[in-house]
Amino acid sequence: MIRIEHLTKSFGGIHAVNDVSFEVERGSITGLIGPNGAGKSTLFNMVAGLIRPDSGRVWLEDENITGRRPHQLFHRGLVRTFQIPHEFTRMSVRENLMVVPPAQSGENLLQSWLRWGKVRREDRAVLEKVDEVLDFLEIGHVADERAGNLSGGQKKLLDLGRTMMTDARIVLLDEPGAGVNRTLLGKISDAIRRLNTERGYTFCLIEHDMDLISSLCHPVHVMANGMLIASGSMDEIRNNEEVREAYLGGGISGRMGASA
């Protein structure tokens, strides 16, 4: 579904991402792990069009999407969340999600001026969907709150909610579990699995929570120091010597639950 070829990005002297290649198979839930600063988010940002790679290419199906803008990728079915949640601060939570659906005719100013009835009808349909998503994420009670006033975890959920407001084909999630309580996290991972099996969404997710990764993801890719150091099933990864080394100091045995 997505093929990453030799992606490279440096910031000054730091090789944030260094010649990384792998593929996210259609229909998979692919995991991307690695210690802090490994270059995972930078890689995501390049795939999602937010930053330009120094070299290398990204393919979506058969199309070279390197350098395409995020909004163009959205319309090709690629959506993403941010590690640090990006909310529309001074807009209500409900409005935050109402922004997302594509092809709202009211986004054309003339249509809004001249065909208000139609615009309002569409808005009501959008609202149905919004409230569904809010209820699912259990943030319905803050629907009227300004998004900027939400807690860190709630913002994370709102960001995830954005990806649920459109018919995506591939979803990139940057640490969906960070700051979210256990129960809800279980629900989110169920939802990911369901969207994957029932609707055929492909996922690629970055996570530090190894339980979440091992229960959801196959295959898993590991990055360290900007490079891809291992790929495979979670079991294979656990027993990979290089991976263990990369995580040393980060406490691999504790965090990966490895049999030591």
Ligand X SMILES: Nc1ncnc2c1ncn2[C@@H]1O[C@H](COP(=O)(O)OP(=O)(O)OP(=O)(O)O)[C@@H](O)[C@H]1O
**Residues found near ligand X in the complex (CB under 6 A):** 11, 14, 16, 34, 36-42, 83
Q: Which stretch binds other proteins (CB under 8 A): 34-42, 81-89, 205-213, 234-242?
A: 81-89
Q: Rounded to an integer, what distance in angstroms lies between the CA atom of residue 121 and that of residue 112?
A: 12
Asked whether 221 and 31 are in contact (CB, 8 A), the reply is yes
Nearer to other proteins, 169 or 238 (CB): 169
In terms of Cα–Cα distance, which of 146, 156, 161 is closest to 181? 156
The residues, ordered by sequence, that sit 6+ positions from 50 with a Cβ below 8 Å of its Cβ are: 70
The contact pattern for Mg ion, residues 34-63, with x = CB under 5 A and - = no contact, is -------x----------------------
- How far CA 133 is from CA of 63, 97, 143, 200, in Å, comes to 31, 9, 11, 18
Please select the residue that binds other proteins; options are 94, 156, 169, 238, rule is CB under 8 A. 94
Residue 202 near which of ligand X, Mg ion, other proteins, none (CB within 5-8 Å, type-dependent)? none
How many residues bind other proteins, per CB under 8 A? 46
Structure-block tokens of residue 239: 């027993």
Q: Report helix, strand or coil for 208.
A: coil
Q: Rounded to an integer, what distance in angstroms lies between the CA atom of residue 54 and that of residue 58?
A: 12
Q: Which residues bind Mg ion (CB under 5 A)?
A: 41, 83
Give the residues lining the site for other proteins (CB under 8 A). Answer: 48, 50, 69-71, 74-75, 79-80, 82, 86-92, 94-96, 98-100, 102, 104-109, 112-113, 116, 119-120, 122-123, 127, 131, 140-141, 143-144, 159, 162, 166
